[in-house]
């Protein structure tokens, strides 16, 4: 795992072996510890930032490069 300084200066661990496909690049899972016990969020593999958000449908969008992971579950009622 890659150690990176997070937005608040805390050390975060990017697991480049655990990711989800986005429209411009992968989103990698980020942990607070190198034992993978405390999950923190996601890291955009396209522009290398932690600045992204997930909505209630499981979509992840990078706020810097607009990389997007589609919703985990699909329900036509949400269109």
What is residue 36's three-state secondary structure?
A: coil
Q: Is residue 16 part of a domain?
A: yes
pLDDT of residue 10: 94
| Residue 59: domain span | 2-67
Q: Is residue 21 part of a domain?
A: yes
| Tens of pLDDT, residues 36-77 | 999 999 999 999 999 999 998 889 999 999 999 988 666 555
pLDDT of residue 71: 81
Q: Is residue 73 part of a domain?
A: no
Q: Is residue 51 part of a domain?
A: yes
Q: What is the pTM of this model?
A: 0.85
Instruction: Kindly provide the residue ranges of all beta strands, DSSP E only, lying in 1-79, ordered along the sequence.
Output: 2-5, 11-20, 27-31, 39-44, 52-54, 60-62, 68-69
Q: Report the alpha-carbon distance of residue 67 to residue 38 in Å, rounded.
A: 24
pLDDT of residue 14: 97
pLDDT for residue 35 is more than 90: yes
* More confident call, 76 vs 27: 27
Instruction: Write the burial class of residue 67 (CB in 10 Å: 0-12 exposed, 13-18 middle, 19+ buried).
Output: buried
Contact at 8 Å (CB) between 49 and 30? Answer: no
pLDDT of residue 57: 85
């Amino acid at each position: 795992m890659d150690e990176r300084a997070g937005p608040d200066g805390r050390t975060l661990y990017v697991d480049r072996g655990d990711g989800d496909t986005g429209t411009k690049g992968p989103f990698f899972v980020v942990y607070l510890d190198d034992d993978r016990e405390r999950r923190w969020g996601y890291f955009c593999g396209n522009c290398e930032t932690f600045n992204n958000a997930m909505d209630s449908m499981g979509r992840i969008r990078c706020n810097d490069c607009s990389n997007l992971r589609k919703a985990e579950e699909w329900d036509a009622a949400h269109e």
